[in-house]
Structure 1
Amino acid sequence: MLLFRANNTKRNSLECLKCPTAAAHDVLTRTTSSALKGAIQLGIGYTVGNLTSKPDRDVLMQDFYVVESVFLPSEGSNLTPAHHYPDFRFKTYAPLAFRYFRDLFGIKPDDYLYSLVNEPLIELVNPGASGSLFYLTSDDEFIIKTVQHKEAKFLQRLLPGYYMNLNQNPRTLLPKFYGLYCIQSGGINIRLVVMNNVLPRSVKMHYKYDLKGSTYKRRASRKEREKACPTYKDLDFQDMHNGLYFDAETYNNLMKTLQRDCRVLESFKIMDYSLLLGVHVLDQSHRDLGDSGQAGGDGRRPVGQRVLYSTAMESIQGDGRAAEALTTDDTMGGIPARTHKDEKLFIFLGIIDILQSYRFIKKLEHSWKALVYDGDSVSVHRPGFYASRFLKFMSTQVFRKTQCKLGGGTGKQCVTWCMHNAAGFLKERSILPAPLHSDTSTPYATFLSPSELVSGSELYDRIAPIFLLHQ
C-alpha cells in the first residue's frame, strides 16, 4: 500500500481536499500511516531547519500570505535528503508568522524540531466524525491534524486577526496554532495543522466531553459509548454530572476567559465550535492505583513543560498568581475542581473546531433544521446566538462556584475562614513557607497576623489555591 496515489493516476479522479469529505477520507484511509508520518516529519524537519537561517524581524501583513514550497524526491537532491517515500512536495504557509506564534509561547526551534521529528508520531483514534487524522508527539506537547481545503483557507484568512488577539492576550482557551503545512504527491493534497494538545496522554481522563451548548443530537451514540474512552456530549453531561465546582476566583477567571474567547470567535463569524473537556477523578485514580499499582494515563510521568500557557490553569484569565502557586506536579496541568458530592477533580479543557465560518452553506443548514426541529436547539446557528447559548450553558450547567460549607460565604471568604481555623493542616503538610516565628513548634496561625491572610495579600494568594486543592 502506497503513501500516495501513483503519479500516472488521473488528476480528476481525486482532487483530495477540493471535494474533502469523500475524497480525502478515501485517500487517507488507504494511506500507509507510518509512511505519512515519516513524510510529515521529513517535511517539517527540513522547513523549520531552513527557517532558522532567516533573521528575526517584525511580522508584516504580507507574511501571512506567503507560501513556501520545496520538492523532496526520493533519491534526494543538493538541498534535500534521500528518503524511502514516493516523491512529494512540501508546502509551508506563513512560515514567519507561525515562527512568531511559536516564539510567543516560548517554543524554541530546537524544541519544536525535537518534539515533532525526534520520536515517531503517535496516531490517535479520531474522536469525531470529521474523517481527520490526528497525530500526537511523544512528549504530549503537540497535535497534528489533517484539515480540509476550506478549513486551511479559512485559517489563512484568520491569521492576521489571530496574530493581533494572541499579541494582546496569550492566556486563551482558543486553539494555539503553531504551523500549517501541505503534502502534495500524485495530484493529492494533504493539509496539516500543528496545534496545542488539550488532553495530555500522561493523565487518565475518566470522562471526556465535546460540549456545544445545544441539545439536538447531542448525545453520544451507542457505538461511541462502547469505546474504551468515549467522548460524551451535552445531554450526557447533564445526565452524569450536576456541574463542576470551582472556587470563586477560578470560576470567575474561567468564565472571563470563555467570554473573551467567544467575543473573538463571534467577531470572525465563527460558530459550531466545541469545548473539549477532560475530567480526571483523583479518588478514582487512587483506587486504580491500589488495584493495579499504576495510576491513570499510560503510566508515564509528564515531561518537563516547554510551552508557555500550555496548561489549563495557565490558559485562563487572571493575574497569574493563583496559577503560579500551583505547580504542574500538584495538578498535572489541570484545574482543581470538585463534584457536587465533593469528589476531587482535575479539569483539562480547550475550545476546538473553530475553523467553521457561518457562510451560505451553514445558513442554509440552520434554516432547514429550524423547519424540522426547534431552531434554538440545533448546533448550527448564527455566531452571536451561538456564543450566547454556549456561554449560558457553560456558566449554568457545566461550571459552578463552590459554596463554603464551613465558614459561610464563597470563594475567598471561605478560604480565609478555613485558613484561620486550619493551623494543624497547614503545619502538617508544610504548605506554608519557612515559619515567620523562631519557635517552630508554635502553630502557624499563632504568628500569622490577620492582615497577612487578607484577600489579595501576597501570602494569601500563595496559600489559597493550594489549600483548596488539598482540603
Structure 2
Amino acid sequence: MCAVSATPPFAAAAAAAAPGMSSNCTSTTAVAVAPLSASKTKTKKKHFVCQKVKLFRASEPILSVLMWGVNHTVTSSPARAPPSAATRAPTPPAVPGPRPADPAEPHLPLALQINELSNVPVPVMLMPDDFKAYSKIKVDNHLFNKENLPSRFKFKEYCPMVFRNLRERFGIDDQDYQNSVTRSAPINSDSQGRCGTRFLTTYDRRFVIKTVSSEDVAEMHNILKKYHQFIVECHGNTLLPQFLGMYRLTVDGVETYMVVTRNVFSHRLTVHRKYDLKGSTVAREASDKEKAKDLPTFKDNDFLNEGQKLHVGEESKKNFLEKLKRDVEFLAQLKIMDYSLLVGIHDVDRAEQEEMEVEERAEEEECENDGMGGNLLCSYGTPPDSPGNLLSFPRFFGPGEFDPSVDVYAMKSHESAPKKEVYFMAIIDILTPYDAKKKAAHAAKTVKHGAGAEISTVNPEQYSKRFNEFMSNILT
C-alpha cells in the first residue's frame, strides 16, 4: 500500500526509478508519436533529462525524516484547518506515487493544490483552535528513495499556523527556513543537555534543532498561547528562545520530539568561549570531561573565578537589563524556573589572526598544487550547488561586524573595553515549570546545602530576582 502520494510530475520519475513499486502505485504517461515520412526518416539524438528531486540524505533515518517532513509541511502548509478538523489538520501528501482519492476535489492536481496553499497569506488573527491543531502524516515508503528514508515513518507538526506566525514575527522567511533545514543534513553538536538532550544545527548554522521530552512538548502547549502574545507585544524583540517549529517523528515505533529555534550564536562569527549562567553557585562548575572539549560550556563559578566581565558600556547595559527584566518577569508569571543565560564570546583580534593563518595555508597549498602541474582546487573544488558554497558569506562584513537582523542576540563590546569582542546572549531552557518535582528537589537541596546556599532549584520569583542581580553584576 502507498499511504501518501506525490505531485504528478514526480510520478513518471518515480516509476522509472523504482520499477518494483507496488502495483497500486502506478502512473500513466501520454506519448505523442509523429507521423513517419515514407521518403525520409530523420533520427534525432535522444536527450535524457533527470528531474531534480530532494533526496533528504542524512546519516540517520530520523534526520532524513525531519528533512522530509519540514520540506513537506512548509511547502504545503494550509492557511487554516477547517472547523471540523481543527485539532487535526492533514496536509497534502508529497511522496511519489498515486494520490488517495478525495471526493471533494477529484480533478484538482496535487501540484496545483500545493501552489495555491503556499500562496495563501498568513491570517491576521490566530484562533484558539490553532493552538491545539496539528498536521499528521503516515508514510508507507516502499521503494522510493529507500537508501535515505525509512520504509515506514510518521511525521507530526504541532500548531503549524502558530509557528508559521511566529516565524513571520521573528523575520524568518518560510522558504529560508525550509532551505536551512532540508537542503543538507543537520550537523551534530558536541553539546549535550540534561537527560541526554541532543543538539544539532542546520548546515548553515542559522537554526538549532533540539530533542525534547514529551513533558517538554506538554509544557510548550501550556505556555504557547501566552508566549505568542508576549512576542506580539514586544514585536519579537526578546532574549527568550525564538521557537520556530515543534515536531514528533516516529521511526521503527520510536517517537522522537524535536524543537527548532534560532541559533543564539552567529552563523559567521566564531565563538571562542561560552558560558551557561544561572546566577547560582552550588555545583556550578564545568566538569573535567566538559573542559576537555574543543569549545566547553563553562558555568557560573568558572566565570567568577576567571574574573570575567562583559564590557558593553552603560547605555547597552541599561537596554539589555531592561529587556532581561521584562523577559524574566514573564517567565516568573508562567511559574518557569531553572533557565539560563547562554553567553558566547567572539574575540575579534583572535579571529583576525586565525583568518590570516588560514589564508596563508591556502596560499601555500595553492602554490604546491600549481607546482604539480595544475590547480587541483579548481579541478576538484566545491561543486556550485553544494553547502560549502552556500556558506560563502558577503565580503563587506569587516572583522567583528554582523547583520543585526540575522544575529539578533549579538552585542559589540564598548570602545573602551580592554579587548574588542562580540557577545551573544540569550535566555535558554524555558520549559521547566516549578511543579511538585522541583519543589521536592528544592527541599532536598536546602537540607543538604543550607537555607542560605545559592542553589539553582528555587521558586520562580526568587529565581528571577537572583538571575537579574547576577547578570547586572557581570555587565560593565
Q: Is 1:356 paired with 2:356?
A: no
- 1:150–1:330 CA distance, 2 compared to 1 (3 A): closer
Given residue 153 of structure 1, which amino acid in structure 2 is its aligned partner?
A
Q: Select which of 10, 22, 46 maps to 2:72.
A: 46
On the 8 A contact 1:241/1:339 being kept in 2, the answer is no
Give the distance between the partners of 2:308 and 2:249, measured in 1 at CA: 46
Pairing 1:146–2:221 present: no
* Counterpart residue number, 1:368: 444
Residue 47 of structure 1: CA displacement?
Answer: 1.6
Matching of residue 225 in structure 1 with residue 291 in structure 2: yes
1:171-190 to 2 correspondences below 5 Å: 171-190=237-256
**What is the Cα deviation at residue 201 of structure 1?**
4.5
Q: Whole-Å Cα distance in 1 between the matches of residues 416 and 249 of structure 2?
A: 49
* Distance in 2 between residues matched to 1:272 and 1:390, nearest whole Å: 10
* Distance of aligned partners of 1:92 and 1:299 in 2 relative to their CA distance in 1, 3 Å threshold: closer
Counterpart residue number, 2:300: 234
TM-score (norm 2): 0.67
Q: CA deviation at 1:200?
A: 2.4
Larger helix proportion, structure 1 or 2? 1
- Please list, as runs of the form range in 1=range in 2, the aligned pairs for 1:87-98 lying within 5 A after superposition: 87-98=152-163
Aligned positions of 1:414-425 closer than 5 A: none
SS of 1:42 mapped into structure 2: helix
Aligned to 2:466: 389
Q: CA distance change for structure 1 residues 156 and 144 in 2, over 3 Å: closer, same or farther?
A: same
Please state how far the C-alpha of 1:340 moved relative to its aligned partner. Answer: 9.0
SS in 1 for 2:311: strand
Which runs of 5 or more structure 2 residues have no equivalent in the other structure?
A: 1-57, 79-116, 362-387, 395-399
* Cα deviations by residue, 1:226-281 (Å, 9 ceiling, x for unpaired): 11111100010011234212222111110011101101100100000001100111
Post-superposition Cα deviations, 1:156-190, rounded to whole Å, max 9, x if no partner, equal: 11110011000011110100101111012343210
Q: CA deviation at 1:355?
A: 0.6
* Alpha-carbon distance change, 301 to 231 in structure 1, aligned in 2, over 3 angstroms: same
Letter of the 2:442 counterpart: H
User: Contact 2:131–2:225 (CA<8 Å) still a contact in 1?
Assistant: yes
Q: Superposed, which structure 2 residues align to 1:67-106 within 5 Å?
A: 67-75=134-142, 84-106=149-171
1:205 aligns to 2:271 (yes or no): yes
Alpha-carbon separation, structure 2, partners of 1:60 and 1:378? 41
Give the Å deviation of 1:140: 2.0
How far apart, in 1, do the equivalents of 2:230 and 2:246 lie? Answer: 18
Instruction: Select the structure of larger CA radius of gyration.
Output: 2
Separation in structure 1 between the aligned mates of residue 466 and residue 309 of structure 2, nearest angstrom: 17
Partner of 1:165: 230
Aligned counterparts of 2:443 and 2:322: Cα–Cα separation in 1:
32
Q: By how many angstroms is 1:121 displaced?
A: 1.4
1:220-299 matched pairs, under 5 angstroms = 220-293=286-359
1:376-416 C-alpha deviation (Å, 9 max, x unpaired)? 411111000000001100001x112xxxxxxxxxxxxxxxx
One of 198, 219, 223 as aligned partner of 1:133: 198
Cα distance in 1 for partners of 2:300, 2:463 equals 14
Aligned residues: 344
Cα distance change on mapping 1:337 and 1:178 into 2, 3 Å: same
C-alpha RMSD of matched pairs (Å): 3.0
The alignment partner of 1:51 has SS state of coil
Counterpart Cα distance in 2 of 1:285 and 1:92: 39
Residues 213 and 115 from structure 1, CA distance in 2 versus in 1: closer, same or farther, beyond 3 angstroms? same
- Residue-by-residue CA offset, 1:397-448 (whole Å, 9 max, x unaligned): x112xxxxxxxxxxxxxxxxxxxxxxxxxxxxxxxxxxxxxxxxxxxxxxxx
Q: Distance in 1 between matches of 2:284 and 2:313?
A: 29
Shift of the alpha carbon at 1:291? 4.4
Amino acid at match of 1:134: F
Residues 1:117 and 1:242: Cα distance change in structure 2 (over 3 Å)? closer
Determine the structure 2 residue equivalent to 1:63: 130
User: Does 1:328 find its partner at 2:393?
Assistant: no
SS at match of 1:328: coil
Q: Shift in Å at residue 70 of structure 1? A: 0.6
Q: TM-score, normalised by structure 1?
A: 0.68
Asked if structure 1 preserves the Cα contact closer than 8 Å seen for 2:192 and 2:199, the reply is no
